[in-house]
Structure formats: C-alpha cells, structure tokens
Structure 1
Amino acid sequence: MFKLLRLVSLALLVGVPAAWSHKHGHDEQAPLFDAHDFAKSSSSGSPTWTEKYGKQIDQTFSGPLSFSHLPYSLCLEDDSSVFDIAVLGMPFDTAVTYRPGARFGPYAIRSGSRRQREQRGYTLSWKNNPYELGSKIIDCGDVPVSPFDNALAVDQMEVAYDTLLSRPVASDKSLALTSVTQRLAKDGKEHPRIVSLGGDHTIVLPILRSLNKVYGPVSVIHFDAHLDTWPAYPGTSTEQSRVTHGTFFYLAREEGLMTNTSIHAGIRCKLAGIADLENDESVGFQLISTDDIDDYGVAAIIKRIRERVGDSPVYLSLDIDVIDPGLAPATGTPEAGGWTTREVKRIIRGLAGLNFVGADIVEVSPAYDNAEITGIAAADIVHDFLAMLLSSTPPTPHSTWGPAKDEL
C-alpha cells in the first residue's frame, strides 16, 4: 500500500509543472526583444545597446565624476566652452594653520553630489529646479594649482578665475533671464558667475582680486566659525607667509578689494581679546555669532545680512566649519557648537535676490569624514547656491499647510 501511494504521489508531482505551465502560460514574461527582429540590422543577430535600451544614461552612482552629473569641460583651455554659471574646483590647501587635506575638497563635494542631477533638481524648499531656469551650468573641472609654491598657486587661481570671468555668457539675457551682472560690471557687459569648490579659505584672495577687475570692491557675506581677518602671524619673515586661510580678508582690505559693508555669520572661535574684534571692524565686517540664532532667530539674521550688504555687488563665501562638527566633521579647524545644516540652508534661501557675483564653499577635508556626511552636506549647499543665484526673491514658505482637521 505504501509503495502504491508513493508511485501516485510521484506521478502527480511529475504532472504538475506541465499542467501549471499550460494553465498559466499567458502570465509568462515576454522576451525584451525578438532576435529575428534585429537580424537585418546586426550581423550577429543581436541588438545593439541603443536599439534595445536607448541612450547610455549614467546611474546616480556611476559615470565620470562631475558635479551633479553636469556636462564637464576643461574650460581653462577650451575657449569654446561658454556658460552662465561654472562650477570650478580649487584644490589648494598649503596655507592652513591646523589640519591639511582640503585639496581633496572638490573631489569630495563632487562625490557627495552623485545623487543630484539636472533631471531631479526640483526642491520643495526652493520651489524650482535651478537647471530649468534658462541658464547653462557646467562643471569646468579643477584649477591645476601648484602644491609646492603658494605664490605661484595663488596666481594660478587668479588667472583661472580671470579666464572664466571674461568668457561670454551662454544665454541671451535679453530673452532668457533678467541681467544680473551687466548693471554691476564696470565694463557694462554681462559676465558669467562661478561657484568655487575649495580648497582652503585662502582661495578667496585670488577670487576677490579677479572680481575687483570687473566689479570693483564687493561686499562679502562670510559664513564661518572664524573671523579670517587677522593680520600676519607674529614671527613671519616673508611677504608670502602673510597669505594664509586666516589672514586673507585682512590682505583683501589692504588691497581695496572689499567694501566696508561686509558681514560674518556663525562666528564662535576663541579670540585673543577685544582687539581682535576692533581689528575685524576695521577690515569692514559686522558680526553675527552662532548664539545669535537662539537669541534672535533665523528671520532676524537674514534681515541683518540683507540690510548690511544692500544693493552692492555681493560675494558669498561659506566655510563648511560654520556647521557643527557633529554634522560636518570633515574640516581643517573644527569648532564645537555650530549651526545645523538645515539652519544654514534656511539662511541661504533668505538671501536670494541680492546682487551675487559669485560664491564658494571651502575647507572640506574628506580625510576626516565618515560616510560622506560632510561631502553630501557641501554638495547640497552648492545646489542651494545655484538656486540662490538664479532666484530673484526668497521662496515663500511651503503653501500646503492648512488648518488641521480629522480626515476620517
């Protein structure tokens, strides 16, 4: 009896696959292509990639490393590369006073931007996609700065910035966008704008030298934990040794590159005393401390910055250490007690509509990062820069909020 039952069971099992296949044959997955359909167009009888799948589009995690998968060009040598906004790396870090490593900052920021792309650039906070606002935005690669000679490196960065700043814009501003830089420029021409990826903060000195040739003195909005307005460090003996990431604003003021209407935001470093603040004021800065966000709120900070710089040409420089090191650890001179990434992003949104002629983000040193926390934050802030440069006014608060009600 047992043998009989076993034979019946085996017979049923053998018959199931055929019956199931016959019954559910209409549910089987159809092939993506029929090889016979391509026999005429391919000698092997197999389809080419474009015949079967279309364009070769990189995944967010693949492809060449450019900011947010933007078109990449070696703009410094390619005169045919025109743009309205350029992303430019400045991998310089040989003027730091503490931890080195920011020469890898442009790489880290680009790597942190891999999940960003033109096709999905719309954000709820900005209510726009900066890549769809009529401007041509490209990644112009890195300035090949010397790691051995700081004077040479500073000159290389200035010449590179001059080169891109003198390039004609890509868009017809009379048709596409309201002119931004033409009415500010001394030559009455529209100039492209550059978002620089540092590099240590010294890169701002050659940038301000370059901007001065086009716009004259500019107001600076400076997000940082540190003043960066100190005179040369005691005991230095050469002219070049005066140029560091803590002295460049002092030198810029000496050279007449800045107006007397600049402002710091997020300051919390330790000082030698009240003399540091007196010197800072003489350089042309007012100061917003990190603690002011608790005492006065985000809206008051935005208002103070806007009133300070007014209608002058404005350059924005953001040191990643303005953010608390718990949220952005990869920086050369970390200071405890900083602003959150969200707070910084909110303040940036409130600055849209000012006369921005350029911007940078600096001091990202990925050797001190974990899980790309800092690189991702920096890349997201660069996206905010692009939206800020192309927005005529700050975005309004999210409009879907209404009175709470029971939906059941």
Structure 2
Amino acid sequence: MSKQDYMNTSVQEPPLDYSFRSIHVIQDLISEEPRTGLRPLKHSKSGKSLTQSLWLNNNVLNELRDFNQVISKLLEHPENLAWIDLSFNDLTSIDPVLATLFNLSVLYLHGNSIQRLGEVNKLAVLPRLRSLTLHGNPIEEEKGYRAQVETMSPAIALAFLPLVVTLLVRYRHHFRLLVRTVLLRSLRDCLSGLRIEERAFSYVLTHALPGDPGHILTTLDHWSSHCEYLSHMGPVKGQILIRLVEEKAPTCVLELGTYCGYSTLLIARALPPGGRLITVERDPRTAEVAEKLIRLAGFDERTVELIVGSSEEVIPRLRTTYQLSRVDLVLLAHRPRCYLRDLQLLEAHALLPAGATVLADHVLFPGAPRFLQYAKSCGRYRCRLHHTGLPDFPAIKDGIAQLTYAGPG
C-alpha cells in the first residue's frame, strides 16, 4: 500500500489498543498482544499496523523512553500518528518525543502525575493539535491552570486559527444570517420590548396601504431587506407558491405555520372565488400579529381562518370542529422536524384526496431529510424539488418540495 493510500484510509482504522495491560515500559509493547475490537486491525505486507491511533491508557508507564523506536516497529507510518491516549498512567512530565509527532491532533494525558504547568508549552509546536486533556493531574492545583490549560494555552489555540478562518470564509453567509437572526434580533427584542413580528407590523402600519395585500407584501420585503431580517418566505419562493395556487385553483388550502402572515397573504390573494384558507399558528403572540396583518389586507374570516394551536392537536379536529372534509393544497411552513409527523396525520385522517398538492418550505435549510425520504420512498407521492435561496441570502441554498398525492395506495 502506498503512503497516499495509507493516508486516505488509516484514519478510519480502529486503534492499536494496549490499554489495561499493566505495561511498565514502552518496550513491552513489542511482546504484548493488542486488544481486539469489533473490527480487525489491518496490516501492511510487512506486518505493521495501518492505523493512526495508539491507545496506551490505564497502564503504569512513567516515561516514554525509546518511544519512536518501538512504534516504528508497530506502525507502518509512525510519523502520521494522529491520536495517542496516555491517560491514567504515572507520567510526571510531558516527554519531548510527543512534540516531534507533527500530525498529532488528539492527545489524552488526564489522570497522570504531571506537576508543572510549564510542561504544556512543549506541545505548542504541534500545528494540528486540536484536543488535549490534562485534568486529574497535580497541575490542576497550580495557579493559572484554568486560564492556560482550558484554553489549551495561547500557542496551542493558534492551531485552531486556520480552521476558524476557513470556516468563516466558507460559511460567511451562514455567519451573517446567524448574526442577523439571533444576535441582533435578541438585542432589539430586549431594547424595544417587542418581537420582530410586532416591529414588522408597526412598520407596515406606517408604510403600507390598507386593503392592498400586494403592497403589504412589498412593504414586508423592504423591511426585511433594509431593516431587520424577517425569516419569511420572500418574493422568489412566493412566486412559486402563487403560481401553484393559481394552477391548482384549490377550494380549500391548509397552511401549517402562519408566522407573520406573509405566505398567508400570498395564498389568499391567489385563491379562486369562494376559496377558503385555514392557517394554523401555535404561538398566540405571533398569531395575534398575523391576524391583524391578514385583516389589514382585507381578508375576512370566511376567506382566511386563523387557528391558534399546535398542528399535532389541530389536524385531528379539522373534520369535527372546523368542518373540513378535504384539503386540496397544504403548505408546511412551521417546523421542518414536524413535517413528517403532520403529513402522516393528514393521511391518517383521510384529509388528502387523490391529486392533492403538499408544499414544504425549508426542506434543504435547515432541512427535512426524514420527510423527503418518506415522500420519495412510500410510493404515494410524486415529488419535485424547487431549488431556491433564502431571502436576502441567495448563497444559502434552500428549496420547496412539491408533492402530489396519488392516494392511499
């Protein structure tokens, strides 16, 4: 096996495990049989192990003399050791030999007898060291241990810098989204005493034309882009929704997840004459804002009925309490992790007629993998995925799943 092949596969290999062997000196490894796990160790033609992990924990080692010579007899490429477990031995210092293993990323030294905090600095030269454990050593009692060790010392922490920079560059759009939807939003919630939906509604009241749902939607889009990110459906996905409602001309639509009422207005303005929309929102405070927005747009309760409650509780009562015998189109826009549960509830209560359309937002971000897997594999749906991006964050890929129900089968 070439060295390149080794590098590609050895990280997946089980460790060379000499734990709990009462080993006193490193030389004993040559005559000692390693432990066997669920997967057998792989070896090269020369008989040496093809792993990057060496476990020596729970022995009685007090030094690592001849460490390099011994592991060169055990490992095909000892210089590529990435994980060493030396926990629960009798080591009193960090042997300099460990600082020569430049591919080392995980080093367990907890439960030893290391007494000097300065020993940690020997490892500052290791560029890939990501995880270091030292708890259970006498150095825990030394002043400054928490500041230096829990941060893995400033020098070792620098090893994280390239990774952090890479992640920030690669996921810069996600980072911006996090800042806008969590940090800034939480700060404004505290300062204003209002939720983002309430602040958005206040903006609509002063900038939008009452009775004009199109202008209200445009105002919400403008506020989300220029003031605070609303996490709403947005105009791109909105066009997909409007087109499907106009094509299907459903007499009854069920929306799970009203939120601020944005997608509710999209559906309501595209309904055919006599069409009915039932929208469900579990949060009473959010539902109150959505109700005001819907009525401001000019839709009465005969066209748009808002139900406050969890979808899990509302769906079984749609027939008896709300006189809803069938749903021609369903929009899932609440919590992606609830999509599969609610789809199966709709099936169980025979609310989906053959040919009914089910739309599910956010199936790629944050994602609904179990829902998609079920829809594709159960044999009762024809599936299509509309690829889009998030509003104001087009680089973050998302999608709307369109399912056409073929019947119970």
Please, what TM-score do these two structures have when normalized by structure 2? 0.27
Name the structure, 1 or 2, with higher relative contact order (CA <8 Å, separation 6+). Answer: 1
Larger radius of gyration: 2
Q: Give the number of the structure whose residues are more often helix, by fraction.
A: 2
